[in-house]
Each structure stands twice: as structure tokens, then as C-alpha cells.
């Protein structure tokens, strides 16, 4: 891999594939978001917060960890958790042993809402993403995405 600041520019093919990747991500994300909002009145970002909390053993995460997990800024996740808290889907508590830390906690209503929204979202992922691949393509695409997302790829 070239070092950061390298003067190498992408080839025409690399740039074309990059743009295609961005268009595909944007299209699928828009469709999945529209389905969640229409059927569940829940944004994709809100769904992601509920999923992240549900996937922890304690159903809670520090706000900073949650921001990293859902790829939002700290202020963005704070505003989103504010809305989810007003809806009764998430609560906030002080972090154990740390008077300054705050954790977001999935409420029973939030867990129920997540179960309902998961049916919509997972059906959409299967239809708009999974069905786009032929035999063997999905696994190869997954390996490529894993390589691109690896923390050790870019220091």
C-alpha cells in the first residue's frame, strides 16, 4: 500500500469502481432507510443504535463507544440518543465507577421496537443486497470489504 501522502492517483478503472461502490452504498442505504421509516417510523441510524446496544451482554454502551460503533460524531450520537430517550427506546445512566461517563441503555420498549424493525430491515438487506450476488460473489465481496475495513490497513 502506498504511504499516506503518496502522489499516486487512482487509475481510470479504480476510480470507476470506487464511484460505483459509492453509488451502490448510497442507493441501498436510501432504500433501506425509506423502508424502515415507512414501515417502522425508525431511521437507519436509530435502528443501528438499537442493534449496537442489543448486541452487548448488558444492553448498554458508553456514549463514546456507541458513537464509534455507529460511525457518528459524539454530538451526532448524543442528539440521536436524546430522540430515542424521548421515545422511551433508550435510557441513560452514569457509568459504574466513573462519575463523568454516561452509558446508553436499551429499554424493554427499545428491544421490542428493535424486534419489529428487524423484520423490515433484514428482509430489505436480503432483497436489495443479498439477491444481487451470484454464487461465490458474496463471499469474495465480503473478503474484499473485510480487507478494506481492517484497522491495520491504515494506521
For 65-122, give the DSSP string. Answer: HHHHHTT--HHHHHHHHHHHHHTTSEEEEEETTEEEEEEEEE-HHHHHHHHHHHHHHH
Tell me the per-residue pLDDT of 111-124, one tens digit each, with 9 for 90 and over: 999 999 999 999 99
pLDDT band at 3 (very low <50, low <70, confident <90, very high): low
Cβ atoms of 117 and 41 within 8 Å: the answer is no
Give the HSE-up count for residue 49: Cα atoms under 13 Å, Cβ half-sphere: 32
Mean pLDDT for all residues in the chain:
92
Say which residues have a Cβ less than 8 Å from residue 42's Cβ, sequence separation at least 6: 36, 113, 117
Residue 98 has a CB neighbour count (10 Å cut-off) of 10
All domains of the chain, ordered by start, with CATH? 13-126 (1.10.10.10)
pLDDT band at 154 (very low <50, low <70, confident <90, very high): low
Q: Does the pLDDT at position 2 exceed 60?
A: no
Cβ atoms of 47 and 114 within 8 Å: the answer is yes
**pLDDT score of 4:** 58
Q: What is the mean pLDDT of residues 128-134?
A: 95
This prediction's pTM: 0.86
Cβ atoms of 64 and 71 within 8 Å: the answer is no
d(CA 121, CA 106): 19
Amino acid at each position: 500500500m502506498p504511504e499516506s501522502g503518496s502522489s499516486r492517483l487512482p487509475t481510470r478503472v479504480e476510480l470507476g469502481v470506487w464511484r460505483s461502490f459509492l453509488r451502490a452504498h448510497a442507493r441501498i442505504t436510501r432504500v433501506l432507510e425509506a423502508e424502515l421509516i415507512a414501515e417502522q417510523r425508525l431511521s437507519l441510524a436509530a435502528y443501528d443504535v438499537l442493534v449496537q446496544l442489543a448486541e452487548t451482554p448488558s444492553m448498554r454502551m458508553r456514549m463514546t463507544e456507541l458513537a464509534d460503533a455507529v460511525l457518528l460524531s459524539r454530538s451526532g450520537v448524543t442528539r440521536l440518543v436524546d430522540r430515542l430517550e424521548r421515545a422511551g427506546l433508550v435510557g441513560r445512566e452514569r457509568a459504574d465507577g466513573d462519575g463523568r461517563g454516561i452509558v446508553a441503555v436499551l429499554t424493554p420498549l427499545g428491544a421490542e421496537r428493535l424486534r419489529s424493525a428487524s423484520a423490515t430491515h433484514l428482509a430489505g438487506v436480503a432483497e436489495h443486497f443479498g439477491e444481487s450476488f451470484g454464487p461465490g460473489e458474496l463471499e469474495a465481496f465480503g473478503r474484499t470489504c473485510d480487507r478494506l475495513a481492517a484497522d491495520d490497513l491504515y494506521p
